[in-house]
Structure 1
Amino acid sequence: MTHTRYAFIKANWHGGIVDQALAGFCEIIPAGQVDVFDVPGAFEMPLLARDLAAGGRYASVACAALVVDGGIYRHEFVAQAVVDGLMRVGLDTGVPVLSVSLTPHQFQDTAHHRAIYAAHFLEKGREAARAALALVKTRAALDVAA
């Protein structure tokens, strides 16, 4: 059975930037086919992605977050845990899980950086939607059930 619904999980940290990934995603996949889920931060995405993928309702699950160096912990560890968790969800459930998670080394909360990353997230959202559609099409041609 081919699903026509897509899940999109977005972290609330730096929401004004991260929301652009959803906007880009919905430029390619109609918003009416996308269910949106908010989580506090990137670290919470893999668990919800697993729950959504395991439910059998979605053709794919896209996840978006901006993980920045807050000076308290190494953001690389958080980002690596998130990406590893998302990959595991896809492999364990057979549902494509896409990451639009960025980890800039020099992010500063300035208008200039917010504009740069918002534009980047918009494009990454489009890329994630194209990847979701391509994976669904390829897997359907291979008769791989999600």
Structure 2
Amino acid sequence: MNQPYSPAHTRREVDIPTSPSSGTRIAIVAASWHQDIVGQSTRAIVAELARNGVPATQVDQFDVPGAFEIPLHARRLAQSGRYDAIIACGFIVNGGIYRHEFVTSAVIDGLMRIQLDSDVPVFSAVLTPRDFHEHDDHLRFFTDHFVKKGTEVAQACLATLQSLNALPLVHHQQ
């Protein structure tokens, strides 16, 4: 999806309510690598969820060492049956070797597979900038950018939960 998500636009077109059910539980799986930046997204997610009726007591955060560890944790959380949605947060940077592209593909492919296999929606605020250098300008830009992305992913999560709740439940025959 190359276009930015616009929950207000979506709600106007299809009139999806924004308030989640009172028992909505959401898990956040966040990579600890670049925690000063990634932490901005997790705080923004919790704040946006709270603004929309999901209190922090219904949001559990799980910290993992890096982005590569996110999919396994997300899969186990989805399998637990405890969560209505899972949001992944991480920052995969180009450290001068080609490895970051493989890690990015593995993480994003893993997250998609988890949601399709478990029927639990999984959202990604795992970002991979083309260029990142630890100087003041980039640190400031990405810190601010992760606040924006945290807010957007929380809005996408809530809108998706509402739209999925409106769909009829389909039972598959074995």
- TM-score category (smaller protein): over 0.9
Q: Aligned to 1:29, what secondary structure does the other structure show? A: helix
Report what 2:48 is aligned to: 28
Report what 1:16 is aligned to: 36
1:24 CA displacement: 1.1
**Is 1:67 the equivalent of 2:92?**
yes
1:112 CA displacement: 1.4
- In the alignment, is the contact (CA less than 8 A) between 1:25 and 1:128 conserved in 2? yes
Select the residue among 118, 122, 125 that pairs with 2:143. 118
Identity of aligned residues (%): 48
1:65 CA displacement: 0.5
- Equivalent AA in structure 2 for residue 141 of structure 1: A
Aligned residues: 145
Distance 1:2 1:54, change over 3 A: farther
TM-score, structure 2 normalization: 0.79
- Equivalent AA in structure 2 for residue 100 of structure 1: A
Q: Aligned to 2:40, what secondary structure does the other structure show? A: helix
Higher mean Cα deviation, 116-125 or 135-144?
Answer: 135-144
What is the distance in 1 between the residues matched to 2:22 and 2:166?
Answer: 11
Higher mean Cα deviation, 2-11 or 100-109?
Answer: 2-11
Unaligned runs of 5+ in 1: none
What is the distance in 2 between the residues matched to 1:84 and 1:45?
Answer: 11
The 5 A counterparts of 1:41-120 are 41-120=66-145
Question: Which portions of structure 1, spanning 4 or more consecutive aligned residues, are displaced by more than 3 angstroms?
Answer: none
Unaligned runs of 5+ in 2: 1-20, 51-55
Q: Aligned to 1:130, what secondary structure does the other structure show? A: helix
TM-score, structure 1 normalization: 0.93
1:72 CA displacement: 3.5
C-alpha root-mean-square deviation of aligned residues, in Å?
A: 1.6
1:76 CA displacement: 1.0
Q: Could you give the per-residue CA deviations for residues 126-146 of structure 1, whole angstroms, max 9, x where no partner exists?
A: 11111111111111111449x
